[in-house]
Amino acid sequence: MKVALFVPCYIDAFFPEVGVASLELLERLGVEVAYPLDQTCCGQPMANSGCEEDAAGTEALFVENFAGYDYVVGPSGSCVHHVRDHLTAIPQTDRVLAVRRNTYELVEFIHDVLKVREFPWAEFPHRVGLHVGCATLRGLREASISEVKQAPFSKPLALLSAVKGIQFVEPKRPDECCGFGGTFSVFEEPVSARMGQDKVNDHASAGAEVIVSPDMSCLMHQKGVAERLGLDVRFMHIAEVLNGARP
């Protein structure tokens, strides 16, 4: 199984520890992971702004870096969702389609492909608010949603539940968007900030000590809001928790 690690641009730049945790976690699970050195970004920021044309070069570079691997695994639901659903600024050759098809979000990959449910090296005796970002939730369908009647399920929860000592809190609106939304966070700052405040307050009121998510972009936004509010809540990526890190 040839697996390549895709580290989204903002994780590369601001949260390298999430990339490190993802790599180490996959290796602990017995996967040999390559890291194509010329990768940059998936193209989502430009595409979501309507500028698909401007995303073309980035998307072509993505395919260059990741062609030929059986699996491309990245710790970011929104980036992976973009690759699987919207990497369309370049001609859709077989090579491109294969890369798109083989790109997985980290939790998806561990849950569905590796089928792992145990993380014996991890311990996390804390009250956790689990946040699943909207692309991961509704785009990649990694958990059930409150607006659709269905048997409840959650891939991130299934993995995290195995961690020794972990407890989960119940926020009032577990699957309401937190307001990051990419460039929305800048161009619609008032609503974005308000949504972020509501989200972190919801988790804090429910007793969360740490908010954990497979989506570092959401966490970046929530962390920024929480710090400005002076809330005593920490933020960690699910890869870090599953890899054995503590707050």
Partner 1 sequence: MKRIDHAEASSKFIEATDHAEFHDRRLWDLRKKRDRESESLPEWQELRGLASAIKEHTLTHLADYLEQFEAAAQANGIVVHWARDAAEHNQIVHELLAAHGVKTLVKAKSMLTEECDLRPFLENRGILVVETDLGERIQQLDDEPPSHIVVPAVHKLRTDVAEVFGRTIGTDPTNSDVHYLAESQRQNTRPHFVGAEAGMIGANFAVAETGTVVVCTNEGNADLSMHLPKLTIASIGIEKLIPRIEHLGVFIRMLSRNALGSPITQITSHFRAPRPGTEMHYVLVDNGRSERLGMEDFWYSLKCIRCGACMNTCPVYRRSGGLSYGATYSGPIGVIIDPTFNLRKYSNLPFASTLNGSCTNVCPVKINIHEQIYKWRQVIAERHQLPMVKREAMRMAGKVLASPKMYRLAVEAAAAGISHLPRTLIYNPFNAWGKQREVPGAAKQTFRQWYVANRGTKQ
Which residues ranging from 221 to 240 are in contact with partner 1 (CB under 8 A)?
A: 221, 223-225, 227-228
Q: Which amino acid is at 209?
A: E
Interaction pattern, residues 32-71, with partner 1; x per rule: CB under 8 A: --xxxxxxxx-x-xx-xxxxxxxxxxx-xx----------
Residue 39 φ then ψ, to 5°: -70, 155
**Cα(65)–Cα(178) distance, integer angstroms:** 32
- Asked if residue 94 binds partner 1 (CB under 8 A), the reply is no
**Residue among 28, 113, 123, 184 that touches partner 1 (CB under 8 A):** 184
Annotate 117-149 with three-state secondary structure: CCCCCCECCCEEEECCCHHHHHHCCCECCCCCC
Q: Which stretch binds partner 1 (CB under 8 A): 101-109, 158-166, 207-215, 216-224?
A: 216-224
Query: What element of type H or E holds 213?
Result: strand 210-213
Q: Which stretch binds partner 1 (CB under 8 A): 66-74, 161-169, 205-213, 220-228?
A: 220-228
Q: Which residues are CB-neighbours of 110 under 8 A, at least 6 positions away?
A: 25, 29, 116, 159, 242
Q: Kindly state the smallest distance separating residue 47's Cβ from partner 1, in Å.
A: 8
- Asked if residue 153 binds partner 1 (CB under 8 A), the reply is no
Q: Kindly state the smallest distance separating residue 170's Cβ from partner 1, in Å.
A: 15
Contact 180, 220 (CB under 8 A): yes
Residue 30 or 190: the one with the smaller Cβ distance to partner 1 is: 190
